[in-house]
Structure 1
Amino acid sequence: MRYISTRGEAPALGFEDVLLTGLAPDGGLYVPESLPHFSLEEIRGWRGLSYSELAFNVMYPFVEGAIPEHDFRKMLDETYGVFAHKAVAPLVQLDTNEWVMELFRGPTLAFKDFALQLLGRLLDYVLAARDQHVVIMGATSGDTGSAAIEGCRRCEHVDIFILHPYERVSEVQRRQMTTVQGDNIHNIAVRGNFDDCQRMVKESFGNQSFLGGKTQLAAVNSINWARIMAQIVYYFQASLALGGPDRSMAFSVPTGNFGDIFAGYLARKMGLPVSQLVIATNRNDILHRFMSGNKYEQHKLEHTLSPSMDIMVSSNFERLLFDLHGRDGAAVRELLENAAKGPVSIADYRWKHARKLFDSDAVDDRTTCDTIREVYEQNEYLLDPHTAIGVRAARNCRRDPAVPMITLGTAHPAKFPDAIAAAGLSIKPQLPAHMADLFEREERYTVLDNDVTAVQEFIAGHWKNA
């Protein structure tokens, strides 16, 4: 399989090069030249498979020719064998035909583990074969950082630098990153917001001269295709558990960077019957404003009780725009260049085409807290604030009560005790046993100004062979 850029000017690459390159040299994101497509009969035949077996069937077409079948199966068994639930992604019923899919049973209690536990193994496999060392540079609004560090901390061929917005992630999220010991692990707290961190990462990938030609950057953010690839699987898992593919499913996805919901869009294109995808956002609602009114306009970023979604520049949205524009890279480039200057819209027929599948909602902090409290009082089931936004958006946007509605449960509630308290609940969610001493562990991180040069100089001076 070959991969092409959403901006049309970068050469097509194979899987290994896409894995290591991250952002395309023309500034675009890599997508498959064509997608595998599975018949209903094929999907039906996957009922009863373990999660890792299902993951192999869904993902192997994307890596075939780059990784032998036996090696890829071994990676998947190791990746999902460390999850704390045998089902890996269990479903919990909230109401008639309404479900939460728990994607927080991995080592760092967030859905990012599904992709980043695999990504670390993929990187180490490819780098070992090439006898190559890379520097990972990533930005996190909360959960990506800890999942990336956990996934890559044992990698012998990697130094990892994670940027997070200073004092804008929860304490649990911060400590999950900053208490992991290792000479190859570096946490940088930037005096700015997530969009500032993400901008620095993109700028650094565009010009890597600060590394002096001695190494290259690799991506762990969802700009890396391998992240999206791994997230496609749990849409198939949820559908098969609830009667698919012989009935269609609807999904509500808490999203800031659009990666997780784009994976659902791809699952549908690959043959899974999906009738509705709900984009669930907080007050940072650029995606909702676009999907509800065809206006893409950046506003000032606000700090909320759902910090992992405090994002205004949704990188993966570019991948959807590429499809909506008939895979015309020049049109995508022009649109995004104009979006950097002010509000933009797309052709009305393209927007209406997107609306056939997508709905959206923006949920403020007060309604988020109301939802956490209501669901707990009704079911004694505790939602984290991001999943609560997904549940509320699902209920507000649901088209057909006869179609199962599945909200992706993106994080464990123990990561957000302040939100639980704000919901008026007296319970304090407990961290799992393997994190019970999290608040006693020593932290290590460096606070830097919101300045890309300062960040690049820090990285250049601290990677293994600097």
Structure 2
Amino acid sequence: MKYVSTRGQAPALEFEDVVLTGLASDGGLYVPETIPEFSQEEIASWAGLSYQELALKVMSSFVAGSIPEADLKDLIDRSYSTFRHQAIVPMVQTGHNEWILELFQGPTLAFKDVALQFLGNLLDYVLKKRDQKVVIMGATSGDTGSAAIEGCRHCDNVDIFILHPYQRVSDVQRRQMTTVIENNVHNIAMKGNFDDCQNLVKASFADQSFLPEGRQLAAVNSINWARIMAQIVYYFYAGLSVGSPARKVSFSVPTGNFGDIFAGYIAKRMGLPVDQLVIATNSNDILHRCISNNDHSKKALEHTLSPSMDIMMSSNFERMLFELYDRDGAKIAELMEDFKSGSMTLGEAQLSKARELFSSYRLGDDEMIDVIRDVFENCEYLVDPHTAIGVEAARKTRRNNDVPMICLATAHPAKFPEAVKKAGQKEDPALPHHMSDLFDREEKCEILDHDAQVVRDFVASNCRA
């Protein structure tokens, strides 16, 4: 399997090279040269497989020619051995044909664990085979950082530097990152917002001259194709759980950087009979504005009670544009240049196609709090603010009540006590046992100005020999 850039000018790469490269040399994102497809009969034959067995079926085509099946199986088994629930991603019913897919059963209580536990093991495997060391530099709006650190903390050949926006993540999210005291783990609280962190990381990938000799940057955020690949699996797992492929299934996805819902789109392309894909956003609603009004323009970022979605530049939307424009790399490069100046506009045919593929909905903080309260009062199930937005988006945009609607629960409610208490809970939701002492642990974090040179100097001086 070869991988190509969304901007059409970078060389095609093998899977292992894509895992280590991150952004393509032309600034684009790597995608498979072809999307694997499965027949309805083959998908039906997967019913009853464990999550790990299903992951092997789904992922094998994407790594063909790079990783032997026995090695891939071992990577998958080790990656999901850290999850608290044997189903890995269990489902809970909250209404008629309405389900919550719990993606937070991993070690850091967020959906990012599903991909990043796998990516950490995958990186270790590839780097040991090549006798190579890399520097991971990533930006997080809350959950990616802790999941990436947990996945890579024991990697001998990785130094990891995670940037989060100073004072703009929850206390639990921050402490999950800053209390990991390892020689290869470095947390940077950068003064600015998530987009500032993400832009600095992207610029660093474009010019890596600041790194020590022999090192290169590797990506753990959702620009890394391996993360998208790992996320595709739970769409198939959830669909099979409610009767697919014999019946259609819909998904509502709390959406910030567009990686999670793009994985759902790829699952549909691979043969899963998906009826609706719902883009659920908070007041930072560029994706909703794009789908509903063809308004993909930058606006001031708002600080909300669903901070993991406080994003105005959704990196993975470029992958979707590549598909909407029939893989025309030159056109994507042109669109991304337009967006740099503040706005881009989709062509009529592409907008029409996007609206066929996606529904969208926007929810503010006050309405989101009402949803947390409503779900709890009706079925005594507590959702986090991001999941609440997904639930309401599903209810408001749903076209067919006979089709199961699965809302992706992206985080455990204990990570967002402020929102949960505003919804009427008298006490902070309890952290799971393995994290019960989180607020007693030592923290280690560097607070830096929004200055690229300062950040790069810190990275360069803290890489291990």
For Structure 1 versus Structure 2, the TM-score category normalised by the shorter chain is over 0.9
Cα shift at 1:74: 0.8
Q: How does 1:17-28 map to 2 (within 5 A)?
A: 17-28=17-28
Residue 145 (structure 1) aligns with: 145
Residue 455 (structure 2) aligns with: 455
Hey, what's the Cα distance between the residues in 2 that align with 1:216 and 1:415?
33
Cα shift at 1:213: 3.4
Residue 408 (structure 2) aligns with: 408
Hey, what's the Cα distance between the residues in 2 that align with 1:429 and 1:423?
12
Hey, what's the Cα distance between the residues in 2 that align with 1:2 and 1:182?
35
Q: How does 1:151-190 map to 2 (within 5 A)?
A: 151-190=151-190
Hey, what's the Cα distance between the residues in 1 that align with 2:331 and 2:65?
32
Matched, 1:117 2:117: yes
Matched, 1:49 2:34: no
SS in 2 for 1:356: helix
One-letter amino acid matched to 1:255: T
Hey, what's the Cα distance between the residues in 2 that align with 1:289 and 1:418?
27
Q: 1:212 to 1:85 in 2, by over 3 A?
A: closer
Task: Indicate the percent of aligned positions where both proteins have the same amino acid.
Answer: 64
Segment drifting more, 143-152 vs 421-430: 421-430
Hey, what's the Cα distance between the residues in 2 that align with 1:205 and 1:129?
23
Matched, 1:420 2:420: yes
SS in 1 for 2:252: strand
Write the deviation string for residues 339-360 of structure 1: whole angstroms up to 9, x where unpaired: 1113221111111111112010
The aligned length equals: 465
Segment drifting more, 364-373 vs 340-349: 340-349
Hey, what's the Cα distance between the residues in 1 that align with 2:349 and 2:66?
39
SS in 1 for 2:13: coil
SS in 2 for 1:162: strand
Cα shift at 1:64: 1.8
Residue 243 (structure 1) aligns with: 243
Q: How does 1:62-77 map to 2 (within 5 A)?
A: 62-77=62-77
Cα shift at 1:291: 0.7
Write the deviation string for residues 15-40 of structure 1: whole angstroms up to 9, x where unpaired: 01000000001000000000110000
Cα shift at 1:423: 1.3
Output the TM-score relative to the length of structure 1: 0.99
Residue 391 (structure 1) aligns with: 391
Residue 86 (structure 2) aligns with: 86
One-letter amino acid matched to 2:10: A
One-letter amino acid matched to 1:419: A
Hey, what's the Cα distance between the residues in 1 that align with 2:458 and 2:272?
45
One-letter amino acid matched to 1:441: R
Write the deviation string for residues 81-104 of structure 1: whole angstroms up to 9, x where unpaired: 221111111110011000100000
Hey, what's the Cα distance between the residues in 1 that align with 2:428 and 2:126?
43
Structure 2 unaligned spans of 5+: none
Residue 282 (structure 2) aligns with: 282
Q: How does 1:298-309 map to 2 (within 5 A)?
A: 298-309=298-309
Hey, what's the Cα distance between the residues in 2 that align with 1:68 and 1:343?
44
Residue 205 (structure 2) aligns with: 205
Cα shift at 1:109: 0.3
One-letter amino acid matched to 2:443: E
Residue 346 (structure 1) aligns with: 346
Hey, what's the Cα distance between the residues in 1 that align with 2:457 and 2:214?
14
Hey, what's the Cα distance between the residues in 1 that align with 2:348 and 2:293?
10
Segment drifting more, 80-89 vs 123-132: 80-89
SS in 1 for 2:182: coil
Hey, what's the Cα distance between the residues in 2 that align with 1:205 and 1:339?
19
Segment drifting more, 310-319 vs 72-81: 72-81
Segment drifting more, 415-424 vs 381-390: 415-424
SS in 2 for 1:276: strand
Cα shift at 1:365: 0.2
Hey, what's the Cα distance between the residues in 2 that align with 1:453 and 1:325?
37
One-letter amino acid matched to 2:428: K
SS in 1 for 2:296: coil
Hey, what's the Cα distance between the residues in 2 that align with 1:145 and 1:343?
29
Hey, what's the Cα distance between the residues in 2 that align with 1:148 and 1:344?
32
SS in 1 for 2:408: strand
One-letter amino acid matched to 2:415: K
Residue 440 (structure 1) aligns with: 440
One-letter amino acid matched to 1:422: K
SS in 1 for 2:86: coil
Write the deviation string for residues 415-458 of structure 1: whole angstroms up to 9, x where unpaired: 00001111122142100010010000000000000111111010
Hey, what's the Cα distance between the residues in 2 that align with 1:280 and 1:149?
27
Cα shift at 1:119: 0.3
Write the deviation string for residues 207-252 of structure 1: whole angstroms up to 9, x where unpaired: 0001143310000010000000000000000010000001111100
Hey, what's the Cα distance between the residues in 2 that align with 1:444 and 1:355?
45
One-letter amino acid matched to 1:93: Q
SS in 2 for 1:209: coil
Hey, what's the Cα distance between the residues in 1 that align with 2:339 and 2:357?
24
Residue 271 (structure 1) aligns with: 271
One-letter amino acid matched to 2:213: G
One-letter amino acid matched to 1:404: P
Residue 6 (structure 1) aligns with: 6
SS in 2 for 1:57: helix
SS in 2 for 1:232: helix
Q: CA RMSD in A?
A: 0.7
Residue 39 (structure 1) aligns with: 39
Cα shift at 1:294: 1.2
